[in-house]
Chains A and B, each alone.
Chain A
């Protein structure tokens, strides 16, 4: 047994991770079969929670929020990949004096999401916010509107603010991937007369597919973490009129109450979690195997 005496050093991380990260996901599955407000005895109700959420009284709220997560994912994917690649390519030309731009681009990422939400909430204030005043000054009065107060524009606005914060992260990742492409291949193409655009699109871009794929998978998974930005800009209700409600805020209302929760229950909340988990799990497993394979190959 002395041979394995080093294993104790693994234990603290293993135990903490198991108890507070791994176990809760399975424990949620167990809780989802119960009706339980959080204290007192649990009542086993079989699949009733699932029925209520998927086709019962909670279903319209659930699908509404789920749809917003989907919209959120698709748009923030587009808003990170397209400008992310574009600016990464511009930085990849390694022009003199562009080093500081990386720091600037990344900076919004270091701000707390609630800080970003509150800041943009003030900037987007319909009356006194800077954004609308700016639109009025330059004569685009029709754009000066209550962006966060209109059911049509509220979600797009939140998605935009999230993209504003996150873009720099993707630029830097894509830039690093571009710089990792074999230089000789690029030189050879250049000697063969390829234009810079052709080099970027035909030679470099194909090498970026795998990093785009993994960042997209992470983005998909993290989409289900979205909570702070909606909370800070539109409150726990995901207002106006539920137009920005996401699974994170819905789940928060169900499990931990708050004003205007249509139903409070740990069991019901755990059911929402389990359903999200079922959506995310295949992607998570796929992601972990890809990353592990890449690490193995890199050695």
Chain B
């Protein structure tokens, strides 16, 4: 779009590289520090580790009971993503494909969830969960995440549904297929790339969430990774070697998923946000 001459190109590169450095340096430091001893982190902050101490990870993993936190986080995240996708894609299908009274109203009502600070709803959510005996239960979290992921996911998926070709559907209809079968057997498989996008966004949101577990969970055995990390930081304030290792452990799953899917991710982000 814009065309830079030689000098402008050099200048642009300098700024771009500076920002890249500002983005990567703190993360690089986090990774390098996790292999040092605390003393080394304090006294040689800029150097590479003299010895790569993998035992920091072993020690953080054991002391913080990360095995439990990971199991909980994986369970909650996986179940939430699956239920968000099922529930939202069905709703998006109905909104994109059928006409009925109040359709526009229903759609606007669900869109409103995009523009609400959902955390503010926490008091009634807490009370509902208490009445349902779902406090301190992972299933309670899954329900809350499913509900809060609906607005964005329906919004994205409605747009994708509208772009699907209708002729296959029409011929299926002639063959007598009902709405659910058309949705399940014809549209969903075509929608796979969109579903990946929705899954990724919700993965990041749910995996990283700190607020809902903080309010809804109480026992140590139920903690998710961010909440466990917080407890760990409260306990081991001076042992920076294990603190850095713990940070890295919590980041690793996101890092892997993001690096594998970054292209789809960025495409999905810009597509969704521009609509």
Docked-complex contact A221 and B116, CB < 8 angstroms:
yes
Give every chain A residue within 8 A of B247 (Cβ-Cβ). 115, 118-119
B240 adjacent to A122 (CB under 8 Å):
yes
Contact of B27 among A107, A225, A255, A256 (CB under 8 A): A107
Q: Give the residues in chain A near B48, CB-CB below 8 Å.
A: none
| A82: Cβ under 8 A from any B Cβ | no
| Cα A20 to Cα B120 with chains together (Å) | 11
Cβ–Cβ contact A21 & B118, under 8 A: yes
Minimal beta-carbon separation of A170 from chain B (angstroms): 10
**Interchain nearest-CB distance for B9 vs A (Å):** 6
Known: A10-B90, A93-B1, A95-B9. A119 touches B143 (CB 8 A): no
- Contact partner of B210 (CB less than 8 A), chosen from A137, A224, A228, A276, is A228
Residues of A close to B24: CB separation below 8 A: 104, 107
Binds A, one of B14-22, B57-65, B191-199: B14-22
Q: Specify which of A90, A173, A177, A287 is in contact with B269 (CB 8 Å cutoff).
A: A173
B160 at the interface (CB under 8 A from A): no
Within 8 A of B (CB), among A91-116: 91-95, 98, 101-108, 110-115
Q: Decide if A273 is an interface residue (CB 8 Å cutoff).
A: yes
**Binary CB contact string for chain A from 214 to 246 against chain B (1 if under 8 A, 0 otherwise):** 010110011011011001100000000000000
Looking at A11-19, A43-51, A58-66, A141-149, the stretch in contact with chain B turns out to be A11-19
**Hey, which chain A residues are within 8 Å of B269, CB to CB?**
106, 169, 172-173
B12 touches A95 (CB 8 A): yes
Residue of A nearest to B111 (CB): A288
Residue of B nearest to A129 (CB): B45
Would you call A255 and B116 a contact (CB within 8 A)? no
In the assembled complex, A266 has its CB within 8 A of some CB on chain B: yes
| Total residue contacts A-B, CB cutoff 8 A | 285
B168 interfacial contact with A, CB 8 Å: no
Whether B22 and A20, one on each chain, are in contact in the complex, defined by CB atoms closer than 8 angstroms, is: no
Total chain B interface residues with beta-carbon distance under 8 A: 103
One digit per residue, 1 when the CB lies within 8 angstroms of any chain A CB and 0 when it does not, for chain B 95-128 equals: 1011010000011111111111111111111111
Q: Shortest CB–CB separation between residue A38 and chain B, in angstroms?
A: 8
Quick one: which of A131-170 are within 8 Å of B by CB? Answer: 133-134, 137, 164, 167-169
Cα A89 to Cα B3 with chains together (Å) = 10
Contact of A21 (CB < 8 Å), options: B113, B126, B275:
B113
- Closest residue of B by beta carbon distance from A277: B120
The contact of B98 among A6, A266, A298, by CB within 8 Å, is A6
Question: Are the C-beta atoms of A101 and B16 separated by less than 8 Å?
Answer: yes
Task: Find out whether the CB atom of B91 lies under 8 angstroms from the CB atom of A21.
Answer: no
List 11 extra interface pairs beyond A21-B118, A196-B2, A289-B108, CB under 8 A. A9-B183, A13-B88, A17-B147, A91-B16, A112-B226, A176-B273, A270-B123, A273-B120, A283-B115, A288-B108, A291-B275
CB-defined A-B contacts under 8 Å, sample of 23: A4-B100, A5-B179, A10-B90, A13-B150, A14-B91, A16-B146, A28-B120, A90-B15, A108-B23, A110-B255, A111-B251, A111-B254, A122-B243, A122-B244, A168-B23, A169-B269, A172-B270, A196-B8, A218-B115, A221-B116, A273-B123, A284-B116, A288-B111
List A residues at the B interface (Cβ < 8 Å): 4-7, 9-10, 12-14, 16-17, 19-25, 27-28, 31, 83, 86-87, 89-95, 98, 101-108, 110-115, 118-120, 122-123, 128, 130, 133-134, 137, 164, 167-169, 172-173, 175-181, 183, 186, 190, 196, 199-200, 204, 211, 215, 217-218, 221-222, 224-225, 227-228, 231-232, 248, 251, 255-256, 266, 269-270, 273, 276-277, 280, 283-285, 287-289, 291-292, 294-295, 298-299
